[in-house]
Amino acid sequence: MAPRSIATGTISFGLVSIPVRLYAATQPSAQVSFHLLHEKDGSRLKQQYVCGKDGEIVPREEMVKGFEFAKDRYVTFTTEELKALEEIATQTIDISEFVPASKVDPVYFDRAYHLGPDKGGAKAYRLLAEALSRSGKAALARYAARGKQYLVLIRPARGRLVMQQLYYPDEVRPIDEVPVDDAELKDGEVQLALQLIEQTAVDEFHPERYEDGVKKRTLEAIERKVQGQEISVSAPAEPRGEVIDIMDALRASLEAARGPAPAEESPKAAQPEEAEPAQGRRKAPLRAAARHADGRSRAGSGGKK
């Protein structure tokens, strides 16, 4: 079943306009979600907003949006004022520049959308996808929708295009803020780490090899409860931090990655052969040689007759 597009747009590529359709790239519905129920009678709960000052339940029509500029101090905006600040939704994906795809840090990646060609845009769509793929580049563009202006990255993927919504720079924390203690690395440690990487490296990304274990266990538990079965639960074991030598850990990891050694013949299996007298072991080839010689002798005498 073909996916249903959620919006339409136009990629502006120089003087070329490419009509496209947007498709959701992810499936939130595939996640396991629970509703809040009243434990007493199992009915669904409704969300209410309560005033923090007098405890009064506030209906939606009495709500206004406010921005906290200081502790417990707000400036409020009406719906009309906020509407006037919104970006006009042109549905145009305006490419501003091209960058090497490998130079865009994935930490900037937000939501992704699949792009497909709309009517009359198949050739231009394929042209852009092929050009991006061959050049190793991705397109940075601006996209206005739902009253907001988004920074997006258009990148090729197996002959198609993906529009990756990006975070703005002020939405990404600098990695330099992460504290890292100084540590001296030995060349032997680095070499062992490189060996471990090479030993477990693959040429392509295969996401189908992985599954969400928590989701699987949860769905199994749900099914058992639906069938009226009881489930037993136990708290997961607390992980214990162990200080080990990094070289020993790397060597052990390499051995584990290599897998078990080929099975050798056990001493018990070899014991009967070892217990056989040396004289007995020599007789077998002698008897075979005697039979072979006797056969040749008979064949020779048959020829003389």
Q: Would you state the structure tokens that stand for residue 165, as one six-digit string?
A: 């919504």
CB neighbour class for 195 (10 Å; exposed up to 12, middle 13-18, buried from 19): middle
pLDDT in single tens digits along all 305 residues of the chain: 678 899 999 999 888 899 999 999 988 767 888 999 999 999 999 989 999 889 999 998 899 999 999 999 999 998 888 888 887 777 889 999 999 999 999 999 999 999 999 999 999 999 999 999 999 999 999 998 878 899 999 999 999 999 999 999 999 999 999 999 999 999 999 999 999 899 888 898 888 898 888 888 888 888 888 888 888 777 667 766 565 677 788 788 878 877 766 655 544 444 444 444 444 444 444 344 444 444 444 444 444 43
Structural domains in the chain plus CATH codes: 7-26+87-173 (2.40.290.10)
Q: Where are the beta strands (DSSP E) in the chain?
A: 7-13, 16-24, 65-70, 73-77, 92-100, 109-117, 137-145, 148-157, 160-166
pTM > 0.95: no
Q: Between the CA of residue 230 and those of 4, 220, 227, what are the distances in Å? A: 40, 12, 9
Q: Count CB neighbours of 74 within 10 A.
A: 12
